[in-house]
Amino acid sequence: MNNTDFIIKCYHADHIRKKQPNQFYILTNDFNETVDIGNAKQPIPTIVYDSIIDLFQHSEINHEHILYFQNCSNKFIEKLNQFTTNFNNLYQLRTFINVLKKIKVNDYFFFSPADKYPLDLNLPHIVARELCKLNNADKKYFETYKTITDNYIHLWTYDNESSTKTIKTGNPVKQNRTCRFCGKREPETTFSHASHAISEGFGNKRLFCNEECDICNNKFGKTIEPSLLNYFNIERSFIGVKGKKNKTPNINLNYYRPHDCYRSMAKFFISLLPIDNFIIFYYTIKWINGSEAPHPLPIIWRTLEPPQYQKPFPKVSLFIQPDMQLNKNIPHSLIDFSFGPYRYLCTIPFIPHDNKDYSNADDFDDFWQVFDIYNAVKWDALDWSSEQKIKDQLNIKINFHFQKNKS
């Protein structure tokens, strides 16, 4: 198993938003499942629920509390077999039982009823790290990324190929939505159209932001997003992405404004955030909207990906520092965006917690120590602060090579 996938799967905005009773989270080193048993219309009988709770080990101090880390001991397997015999006529339990039976003997696993799941954004990391430790599993990922995970919450990685689900950030109930970009709600604005969290022109058909209103969606689609799409036009046409109406772009070199490219990238970050407190991004959002006067913008770092990592679709990771332990010498928030042959690291600008503007390469000295693992490759410093219209010259040597990920 790939440990990066583990993070992706176990961190999901929905996990902390929908705290359903009769829903359980089961995480192992091999899989991550959210299992429903019954629903509001057809709840399972209390006696069955109690028997479920009895299957697991409880805290000695507080018997109400189920331990998060359980062991798939022989005793547990015995209890589970008995439970299966007792309730095998209940179809609502089938998935639940099957998932528990997938756990390897003597392995530790994380178990929590959804309504007892602690609201801690960093939890998936803690769980993953702890499970690796308990199961003597491959800890390399966590050790390699230790300096990053000590400083940042790795909010999530989204990789278009390995995901099959549609993911929507933000409030699912229209009437309760506030647009992340203009702050308006219904009836002042509308949320009739699905807003892509990453432009559809990159081939994104699965990642949406509920909290971008129709007016903002329309505005960004006409202003800043075309710049970023034009910037990536060569890559998009060679890859043959299916954008709007499944159209593939032609190899045209169109004008783009670097400043608007930067704003688009930051807009992706805001759209993808699985949180609902945007106060620290107040100035960032103002700037994305075009109402903040130009400042020096942080340097954007770009590297050429080795062929095996080049992807014909966008791959995105978000990093944000936890409020409890801010390190003011490194950027508060970042988006790591890969598409085609290149990977970009973009600092999210105008966050009051940052005490530098990161417009000089030297401002990143501490950053590279934290992102030590990224240091193995050479990164170019790009300046995307210009508001001038630019058109690239087609004198590049195209050297694309994609490998299908077989795992």
Q: Point out which span in 104-112, 206-214, 253-261, 263-271 binds Zn ion (CB under 5 A).
A: 206-214
For 111, phi and psi rounded to 5 degrees?
Answer: -135, 130
Between 169 and 321, CB nearer to Zn ion: 169
**What b/e string do you get for 66-89 counting C-beta neighbours within 10 Å, with b at 16 or more?**
bebebbbeeebeeebeebeeebee
From 35, 153, 213, 261, residue interacting with Zn ion (rule: CB under 5 A):
213
What is the pattern of x (binds Zn ion, CB under 5 A) and - over residues 340-359?
A: --------------------
From 181, 269, 281, 367, residue interacting with Zn ion (rule: CB under 5 A):
181
CB of residue 23 vs Zn ion: minimum separation in angstroms?
A: 32
For 349, phi and psi rounded to 5 degrees?
Answer: -80, 165
Which residue do the tokens 């219309």 mark?
41
What is the pattern of x (binds Zn ion, CB under 5 A) and - over residues 48-77?
A: ------------------------------
Half-sphere exposure of 334 (CA within 13 A, CB side): 27
Between 216 and 330, CB nearer to Zn ion: 216
CB of residue 217 vs Zn ion: minimum separation in angstroms?
A: 8
286 interacts with Zn ion by CB under 5 A: no
CB of residue 191 vs Zn ion: minimum separation in angstroms?
A: 9
Between 177 and 332, CB nearer to Zn ion: 177
CB of residue 214 vs Zn ion: minimum separation in angstroms?
A: 8
| Distances, alpha carbon 22 to alpha carbons 34, 39, 51, 72, 177, in Å | 10, 7, 13, 21, 26
209 interacts with Zn ion by CB under 5 A: no
Residues within window 101-160 making contact with Zn ion, judged by CB under 5 A: none
CA–CA separation, 349 and 134 (whole Å)? 39
182 interacts with Zn ion by CB under 5 A: yes
Count Cβ atoms within 10 A of the Cβ of residue 107 and give its class: 0-12 exposed, 13-18 middle, 19 or more buried: middle
CB of residue 184 vs Zn ion: minimum separation in angstroms?
A: 5
The region, left, alpha or beta by phi > 0 then psi within -120 to 50, assigned to residue 294 is beta
What is the pattern of x (binds Zn ion, CB under 5 A) and - over residues 215-244?
A: -x----------------------------
Q: Point out which span in 159-167, 174-182, 291-299, 317-325 binds Zn ion (CB under 5 A).
A: 174-182
| Distances, alpha carbon 376 to alpha carbons 18, 137, 142, 368, 379, in Å | 40, 25, 17, 10, 9
E strand or H helix at 399: none
From 48, 72, 179, 266, residue interacting with Zn ion (rule: CB under 5 A):
179
E strand or H helix at 156: strand 153-159
Between 167 and 182, CB nearer to Zn ion: 182
Between 16 and 182, CB nearer to Zn ion: 182
CB of residue 256 vs Zn ion: minimum separation in angstroms?
A: 24
Between 212 and 336, CB nearer to Zn ion: 212
Between 275 and 304, CB nearer to Zn ion: 275
CA–CA separation, 327 and 362 (whole Å)? 17
Contacts 24+ apart (CB under 8 A), 81-90: 83/51, 83/52, 83/55, 86/51, 87/48, 87/51, 90/44, 90/48
List residues near Zn ion by CB under 5 A: 179, 181-182, 213, 216
